[in-house]
Chains A and B, each alone.
Chain A
Amino acid sequence: MTATHTSPGHQSGTHDAHDAHAHPTTATYIQIFVVLFIVTAAEVVAAQILPSIGMTSLVAPSLLIMALVKGALIILYYMHLKSDSGVYAAPMVFGLVLATGMLLTMIGLWIIAPRVPCTPELGKACVVEK
């Protein structure tokens, strides 16, 4: 999955603006798609099979890992960050760090002090707000 080809001004969008870098070939793009297809199918199977065989605790970690693999393939190969300048990656990495930080912080805060109405269905996880 590392085959590449170069063409003049390939990276630039405008011929003279950038230096030429290697971009994946058509075959590589198709290989990436096949991998994405297989991983997505594996996600669907895992989400339905793992709970039925009593491995519920493995569902979330396995699905998250597969989603990360898919996301990385799309960003690196289809969005060309693997071959583009690292400067382009900076705002995306910054956004992803902020996004992940926000998600984890909010979930963490909820675990520490859930500010939600207490219902019987929530059970022991529900703490009444004082």
Chain B
Amino acid sequence: MTVSTIEHASHAVPANPPSGMESLDMRKLGMWVFLGSDCVFFASLITTYFVNRPLIFSGEPNPHHTLGINFTAVLAFILLLSSLTMVLSLAAFQRDNIQSGRNWLLATAALGTCFLAGQAIEFSNLAHEGVTLSSGLFGQCFLIMTGFHGTHVFIGVIWLLACWLFAGTGRFNSKNFIGVEISGLYWHFVDLVWVAIFTLIYLI
């Protein structure tokens, strides 16, 4: 058997393609399990805020006066845009357009960094108004919840940059893009959590 024949055979579609559970990627399934558990984690933080809401709104400073909805809406748009760039990155890798995929990954990480910068500004403004971790129930509930979300974003940015570096070595292409796909799932989840926090905490 010649070398070309061997290469052709290795890329041939198997006679019996995997089906059912065999067709699942365990790394991807593992990420979904993690995301499911992370749902419960964030739900516990949001629940804590809601249960304490009457006390929070009866005290000072009042969240309705201190939380800037318009500024946070801009942050929400930034995260939504980053979800678009993330999914475009994955689509580019699936088409073997590696450079485009890397560019979109970098754009996603940059947007994530913008979000973190915005959150740092918001935390700084809140601190000036006396809302800190030790200032009371509002400070504790709000800062721990949004702080954990920000930590998730920070981890996501590091992960995206790692993917960007790995992609530069030719690790990801149309036949192997699981790394980008899993980091994308994580990134979209971070966006999903912000959708919940933005609505439940800032708007309602």
Contacts and interface: CB of A to CB of B under 8 A. Distances in A.
B129 interface: no
A67 B23 contact: no
Given A18-B23, A91-B33, A102-B43, A60 B175 contact: no
A16 B15 CA distance: 12
A12 B173 CA distance: 12
Nearest to A16: B14
Contacts of A30: 84
A55 B42 CA distance: 30
Q: Chain A contact residues: over half helix, strand or loop, or mixed?
A: helix
Interface residues of A, number: 65
Given A40-B73, A40-B80, A9 B91 contact: no
Nearest to A12: B25
Given A13-B182, A78-B83, A26 B88 contact: yes
B151 interface: no
Q: Which of B33, B185, B192 has the most CB of A within 10 A?
A: B192
Nearest to A36: B80
A71 B196 contact: yes
Interface string B27-47: 111001101111110111011
Nearest to B182: A13
Interface of B: 13-14, 17-19, 21, 23-25, 27-29, 32-33, 35-40, 42-44, 46-47, 50-52, 54-55, 58-59, 69-70, 73, 76-77, 80-81, 83-84, 86-88, 91, 94-95, 174-179, 181-182, 184-185, 188-189, 191-192, 195-196, 198-200, 203-204
Given A9-B174, A17-B25, A87-B21, 20 more contacts: A13-B177, A16-B17, A19-B17, A40-B80, A43-B199, A48-B69, A60-B204, A63-B199, A70-B195, A71-B192, A74-B188, A78-B87, A79-B184, A91-B33, A92-B32, A92-B36, A106-B47, A106-B50, A119-B58, A122-B54
